[in-house]
Structure 1
Amino acid sequence: MLTPTRELAIQVAEAFKTYASAMKGFHVLPIYGGQGMDAQLRQLRRGVQVVVGTPGRVMDHLRRKTLKLDDLDTIVLDEADEMLRMGFIEDVEWILEQTPPQRQVALFSATMPAPIRRVADNYLSAPKIVKIVSKTSTVERIEQSFWMVSGLHKLDALTRILEVEDFDGIIMFVRTKALTVELAEKLEARGYSASAINGDMSQALRERTIEQLKKKHIDILVATDVAA
């Protein structure tokens, strides 16, 4: 299974362990950059049923021949449009070319831009398309707006918005767990009462942090989608 980020690889691997908890001898291994190769190699030698990895690290193992796909049954591309956005699509296609022809390919994507459609056309055999139509909508009293800001100026733009807007409490969503801590610390340094919340925290601690926002003990909660 290919995922765009380390955090998602870990999250998916944990979900596999939960779902397969009653299956004896089932092993899943997340592999991603930034983690030592030795630990991954030991687990691969012992044998695993599922590998969840980022494209770069999966390519490393394939080139080293420490990950073999001869008996691969299924390959899953999770958040394919995000892998495209992050520049991984050529890596994904290279990995797909290393897989046996009889494997099944499942592709999950929130959007279907042309490069993702090309991957589907080239690597999926007679695919069945499943579309999920959301029945939820934004609460009518919520006003929505957006600003296009370059990465270098995001913090300054955010600070300016906080200076001119009245608020009782704010939840800010960021992409990764590391960013929740980083942004909360930067906001604290600028005089705002902010806390991070992410999947590395225990459920009890997450609930206490959310309660702090509700009771106005903090002004800003910086979260991954775990807060949703």
Structure 2
Amino acid sequence: MVVNISIFNLFLQADFLVKIVMTVLLGMSILSWTIILKNSRTLLRASKNVDLFEDKFWSGSDLSSLYQDVKKRKEAISGTEEIFYSGFTEFLRLRKSNSDSPNFVMENTGRAMFLTVAKAVKKLERNLPLLATVASISPYVGLLGTVWGIMHSFIALGDAKQATLMMIAPGVAEALIATAMGLFAAIPAVIAYNLFSGKVSKLEHSYSTFSEEFYSILYRLVLLRQ
């Protein structure tokens, strides 16, 4: 006798709770892959923007001309461009009215850039906690379905007069599928979370380094005008 134990049929034959577990895990897997694809594009774009703007910044361009160019696109800027824009905007604003207080000017300019760095990093970290949650709880949700499915199979086996492997195979199979689905949702989420965290840390370092170097340039400018 041939028994059809395809995944779809096992899902249809599964206990109600196991069906709920499988559905939840499928949803978590879809959510996880959606975040992975979205964050991949975001981080790739952020890395390219850092390289492009820093090449332009260190090419010897006049700061005022570069500032005017960035200002025209201020609604669409991010990363180092946004750090440059916020820092230079604050610097120009304060220097006009506090030309005799360079420390005050630079303190507030540095604070503006620090807040912009924090904002940019927070934007890059968006959805990472959710990805970490999927990675950590998916195996346990799958295990819940497995335990319940196996328990249900053995309870049903206890009422049978003659126990055979064929009687419990479908129940055990559907239970193990729950574990497999849990791992299928968790493994990509774990890998992606670790990769994304590393890329975010690298970008944060780039932002902080640029902020410090730009701060030094502005500090020299304000001292020259004393």
Name the TM tier (shorter chain): under 0.3
Whose helix fraction is larger, Structure 1's or Structure 2's? 2
Structure 1 or 2: more strand by fraction: 1
Q: TM-score, normalised by structure 1?
A: 0.20
Q: Which has the higher contact order (CA 8 A, sep 6+)?
A: 2
Give the TM-score, by structure 2 length.
0.21
